[in-house]
Structure 1
Amino acid sequence: MARENNRHKGDSKETLGKVIASNLFSLLKIFLLCLVAVYGTFNYLVKPTWIYGVSMYPTLKDGAFVVSNAFVGHFMDVHRQDIVIAYDSKFAPVVIVKRVIGLPGDTIYAKNDIVYVNGKPLDEPYLESDYARTFRELQGSFTSDFGPVTLGEDEYFLMGDNRVKSEDSRVRGPIKRDAIKACGTFVILKGK
């Protein structure tokens, strides 16, 4: 008991300045830990993104809020037809949300409303929507002719699902693998 009282007497000799400094240091450590946790979560686990524009309509609508898998985007293979979030800095630093059409080494072109990858028609079930059918009936084609484009070792060809309203690899060129930051989308808010 005497030992415990002596310990408390030693504690009471701390100055107010030392107590404040100790508490501020503890608060700073908590803040930094939270900052690192938030940064790591949103850059290496999940990537929250707002969809602006109609380039992925009707799959993703303008104003939608989605969460994507950033772990796959950074550390795993990206597959054809995955929806990815990428940073494109060729024209202006922008975040783009598009679908992977071509993988490294592929040759891609479109003719008569059909996209071809390495000479074979690409199956695109996500384009079988009322929107695309109506556009085809009125305009004759939903995907305009382009290419051929042959991708390099580290290049991906991305296109929006709304082919008539998408500024994608047909305009911007291929995207490098390190520009792809997340893969897949889980819609939190649907948008308009």
Structure 2
Amino acid sequence: MKVILIVALVLLVARQFIYEPVEVHGKSMMPTFEENDRIILMKISEIEPFDMIVFKVADEKNYLKRVIGIAGDTVEIAEGTLQINGVAAEEPYLKNNRLLASQGDYGQMAEDFPAITVPAGYYFVLGDNRLNSVDSRMIGFIKKEDVIGEVMFRLSPAKQFGPVE
């Protein structure tokens, strides 16, 4: 019985401070993540550009987005191309979305967005589904303390089970 209690206690503490399972809702990260996908967040990882994070927003909802800019970065979308510090960013995760945008007569994946610099203690985030995403273009910068964790592992669907890149 002691072993079971110790294991339960360790799991509870780990869930509180180290990891958290989350279910995906919404279409803003499609096709990277679909509605009802299940993922594991790591609460203690160092966030870097292009990591995917879950964070809280003012209306008590949790959002899943990709970090595009960190403190000091200048971010803009010019002629449909994401630029970070004046350099066009490679975004291989948008391949399918670019194809869908061109087939749907959308032209470019996102409207142009003027250059802004990310302040200290904040992130600039975008959804992979740029045509259908509420992200930093609308809600502004994300405070570091509002980040719940980084997406590290996919639990479902079963065919995509494993670490997230």
Shorter-chain TM range is: 0.7 to 0.9
Q: Which runs of structure 2 are paired with 1:4-153 in the superposition (5 Å)?
A: 34=8, 37-72=10-45, 77-89=46-58, 92-129=59-96, 131-137=97-103, 138-153=105-120
Please identify which structure carries the higher helix content. 1
Percent identity at matched positions? 26
Aligned length: 153
TM-score calculated relative to the size of structure 1: 0.73
| Aligned residue in 2 for 1:180 | 147
**Amino acid across the alignment from 2:34:** K
Q: Structure 1: give runs of 5+ residues left out of the alignment.
A: 1-29
Report if aligned partners of 1:50, 1:66 keep a CA contact under 8 Å in 2. yes
Does the 8 Å CA contact 2:66/2:128 hold for their aligned counterparts? Answer: yes
Corresponding letter in the other structure for 1:134 = L
User: Partner of 2:161 in structure 1?
Assistant: none
Structure with the higher strand share, 1 or 2: 2
Deviation at 1:134, TM superposition (A): 2.4
Query: TM-score of the superposition, structure 2-length normalised?
Result: 0.84
Q: Alignment partner for residue 171 of structure 1, among 132, 138, 162?
A: 138
Aligned to 1:71, the other structure's residue is in SS state coil
1:136 Cα offset (Å) = 2.5
Aligned-pair CA distance for 1:42? 2.0
CA deviation vs aligned residue, 1:106-155 (integer Å, no higher than 9, x gap): 111101110111111111110111x4212134210112111222111111
2:41 alignment partner AA: S
Deviation string 1:86-123 (CA, Å, 9 cap, x unpaired) is 1122xx11111110000101111101110111111111
State the alpha-carbon separation in 1 of the partners of residues 12 and 69 from structure 2. 31
Q: Is the partner of 1:139 in helix, strand or coil?
A: coil
Structural RMSD (CA): 2.0
The answer (yes or no) to whether the contact 1:42–1:70 under 8 Å persists in 2 is no
Q: Which position in structure 2 is the counterpart of 1:190?
A: 157
What is the deviation of 1:184? 2.5
